[in-house]
Amino acid sequence: MAKTLFEKYGGFPTFRKVVSAFYDQVLDSPVLQKHFTGVDMARLIDHQTKFVTYVTGGPANISDDHLARAHKMLKITRPEFEEMALIFEEALEDHDIEPEDVKYVVGEIRKRSHLIVTE
Residue numbers in the known binding site for heme are: 47, 71
Which of 51, 96, 99 has its CA nearest to residue 71?
Answer: 51
**8-state DSSP, 58:** S
Give backbone dihedrals phi and psi of 105, rounded to 5 degrees, phi first.
-65, -45
Query: Do residues 45 and 111 make contact, with C-beta atoms less than 8 angstroms apart?
Result: no
Give the integer Cα–Cα distance in Å for 97 and 99.
Answer: 6
Binding-site residue ranges: 47, 71
